[in-house]
Amino acid sequence: MKYLMAGIRMFFLFIYAIILIIFLLLLYIMTRPFGKKFSIRLLHNMTPVLAFPLRKLMGVHLHIYGKEHIPKKQAFLMATNHIGYVELFSLFKIRPMAFVSKDEIEKWPVIGTMLKAVGTVFVDRTTGGLSEQYIRSVTEAMKNRINFWFSPEKTTNDGTWLRPFSSALFVVANRLKCPLVPAAFVIKKLNGKPITPERRPEVAWTRDDHGGEISFFKHFLHFFTLRSVHLEMHILEPVIPHYDDNDIVERRAFSEEVWERIADALEQHEPAFDRQRKE
């Protein structure tokens, strides 16, 4: 029965993806005469509406706490723990959102093009977050009132621990003096029942027990057999960084401060959270 349900959901997702691609293409062509910035900002602001059917098709349910902490009058950066792609679908429920993503995704068929259309900035991991191209791209996008999410962990885990944060990725917030909004995602239920350690890998796209990569498409296809996933998102008070980004000690101190705040939230709301684990 679950495979029949998965097949039906995949069929509707395929249909929706085609409709979405056509819609975005037509809208891009229609708005291009008004300028690239206007076109990207319009598409960016439509992401919550466009992502709503996707979230429903994936069976993702999100309960948000602390929504009052989201800045209302200016673009912001959001940093959260990273459990895979399930929380990315959820982000659009809060506000229009673009991503700071690894540059390999830009080459993915369809997905890369769509992410780029809504303002996503792709980062070359070999140069790190301090690359001037990254800083310039995000700065220009935020001036165009584009909100950004990034993962300071740089990769995923199962939601029960936090990897050390990359201090370089916070440089943009420090230079722009824009709000940085920390938040914590918690997996609460799978198919209506409390999540168990054995089933976490079905929700979190992370490495297997032997440290090997799990195929994205294999994981994504299996995700369709799940009836529902319930997440909580705990949004913390924003902070505006003030430090010398040329001083590695100050950079790391700010990064660790954000790590501690997200760890505090996870420790409070995720019973399985292990604060001491780093790898």
Tens of pLDDT, residue by residue over 39-84, are 888 888 888 888 898 898 889 999 999 999 999 888 999 999 999 8
Cα–Cα distance measured from residue 129 to residue 16, given in angstroms and rounded to the nearest whole number:
34
Listed in sequence order, the residues at least 6 apart from 107 whose beta carbon sits closer than 8 Å to its beta carbon are: none
- List, in order, residues 6 or more apart from 230 with CB less than 8 Å away: 61, 62, 63, 187, 188, 189, 190, 192
Q: Which residue, 194, 192, 216, 212, is CA-closest to 204? A: 216
Q: What is the mean pLDDT of residues 210-226?
A: 79
What percent of the chain has pLDDT above 70?
Answer: 91
- Which structural domain range is residue 264 located in? 2-269
Residues in the chain: 279
Please report whether residue 254 resides in a domain: yes
Has residue 196 been placed in a domain?
yes
Q: Provide the pLDDT confidence category of residue 211 given band limits of 50, 70 and 90.
A: low
Within a domain: 63: yes
Specify if 279 maps to a domain: no
Please report the pLDDT score of residue 278 as a whole number. Answer: 82
User: Structural domain tally of the chain?
Assistant: 1
pLDDT in tens, 153-190: 988 999 999 999 988 888 889 988 999 999 999 999 99
69, part of any domain: yes
Per-residue pLDDT averaged across 116-123, rounded?
74
Instruction: Identify whether 100 is part of a domain.
Output: yes
> 276 in a domain, yes or no?
no
Return the structure tokens found at 69: 């902490």
Q: Is the pTM of this model over 0.85?
A: yes
Task: State the pLDDT at residue 21.
Answer: 79
- Give the residue from 80, 122, 65, 70 showing the smallest Cα distance to 98: 122
Residue 278 in domain: no
Tell me: pLDDT of 114 over 70. Answer: no
Q: What is the CATH number of the domain that holds 182?
A: 3.40.1130
